[in-house]
Amino acid sequence: MDSLEEFRHYRERMNTRILSSQNIGIKRFFALDSRAYEKGALDPKTKELLGLVASTVLRCNDCVTYHIIRCVQEAVSDDELLEALNVALIVGGSITIPHIRRAIDVLDQCREKQKKHEPVEI
């Protein structure tokens, strides 16, 4: 299983690479993507939970990893995360289970960091 650090570095390196390209459409999409989770009528915590459930039912491990980290940063509790993942499991079925395993695995790694007073970074 990829470590969170490996994930973060690859993600960061490739995003920098993609945004250095000349394609204006892709750059603007990345900007819109960031803004969609900013505070508005809904708070960032709710929006990250929406992103997590969407990522889980669409079965994207990298996206699940990202949103679990963001949820931890937004102080979502374990019970709240499990209820959100339960909605994803019911909507998306057993095919989402490998991604729910991944979500819990990442969550455990984040909680471990918090216990050691290490930052949980994306």
Q: Does 26 bind a second copy (CB under 8 A)?
A: yes
Among 9, 108, 111, 112, binds a second copy (CB under 8 A): 108
Smallest distance, Å, CB 72 to a second copy? 15
122 closest CA partner among 55, 70, 61, 71: 70
Q: Does 122 bind a second copy (CB under 8 A)?
A: no
Cα 90-96-98 angle, rounded to 5 deg: 140
**Contact present, 67 and 55 (Cβ < 8 Å):** yes
Among 4, 72, 84, 110, binds a second copy (CB under 8 A): 84
Q: Does 9 bind a second copy (CB under 8 A)?
A: no
